[in-house]
Amino acid sequence: MNGLKDKDFKYWKIKREICRKKPKNYKLCFFYLHMREDINIFVFELIIGIVIGFLLAQIQFQMSTQITGKVIYKEIPEIEQDIINDCSNLSLVETSICLVENVDTFYYYNYSNKDVKIEDMEFERLKEQGGVCKHYQHFYENWGKELGFLTKHVTLLNDLRHGFSVIYSNITERGKGYCILDQDKLIGCMRLG
Q: What is the CB neighbour count within 10 angstroms for residue 17?
A: 9
pLDDT band for position 124 (cuts 50, 70, 90): very high
pLDDT band for position 192 (cuts 50, 70, 90): confident
CA pair distance 45, 36, nearest whole angstrom? 14
Q: Give the domains, in start order, of the chain with CATH numbers.
A: 6-65 (no CATH), 75-191 (3.10.620.30)
Express each pLDDT in 141-187 by its tens digit.
999 999 999 999 888 876 667 889 999 987 777 778 999 999 888 88
CA pair distance 69, 87, nearest whole angstrom? 12
Share of residues in the chain with pLDDT > 90 (%): 34
Q: Is 107 exposed, middle or buried (0-12, 13-18, 19+ CB in 10 A)?
A: middle
Express each pLDDT in 97-116 by its tens digit.
999 999 999 999 999 988 99
- Model confidence, pTM: 0.61
The pLDDT of residue 123: 93
The pLDDT of residue 68: 47
96 CB contacts (<8 Å, ≥6 apart)?
Answer: 167, 179, 181, 186, 189
The pLDDT of residue 20: 57
